[in-house]
Amino acid sequence: MDEAISKTFDKLRRAAGGLPEIVEGTSYGTPALKVGKKMLCRVKDAGIVVMVCSPEDKEMLLAAAPDLYFETDHYKGWPYILIRIEAMPADELHLRLEQAWLRQAPGSLVKAWQARHAL
């Protein structure tokens, strides 16, 4: 794996800490984090990450922080957002991964996790 891509993936791994049943794999030939077989995020290239995101959150993030979040024509209409990973603070990256995890994880796993975290 390319060193820059490896560095990006390491940042994703750290940010996903504490989320249950995270699996490392690949998606479209690049490193990805999944819950079960469902993708949470993947490295698009050394500086860009593709992350699962609700359409409502995507709209809000694109408007609120265009320096961090963007989309290309390819991702318009899909529940994914592109992130400039180097500019992303660790706490916000963790929050985005947590939201992606809540969206993709099986319901029973989400309920157990929420009960432990009193959400």
> DSSP assignment, residue 16?
T
**Per residue in 86-117, pLDDT tens?**
999 999 999 999 999 999 999 999 999 888 88
List, in order of start, the domains of the chain with CATH numbers. Answer: 3-107 (3.90.1150.30)
Per-residue pLDDT reduced to its tens digit, 36-46: 999 999 999 98
Contacts of 18 (CB under 8 A, 6+ apart): none
What CA–CA distance (Å, rounded) separates 44 from 34?
15
What's the confidence (pLDDT) of residue 116?
87
3-state secondary structure of 69: strand
Contacts of 86 (CB under 8 A, 6+ apart): 47
Q: What is the mean pLDDT of the chain?
A: 94
CA dihedral for 9, 82, 89, 100, sign (positive or negative): negative
Q: What is the pTM of this model?
A: 0.93
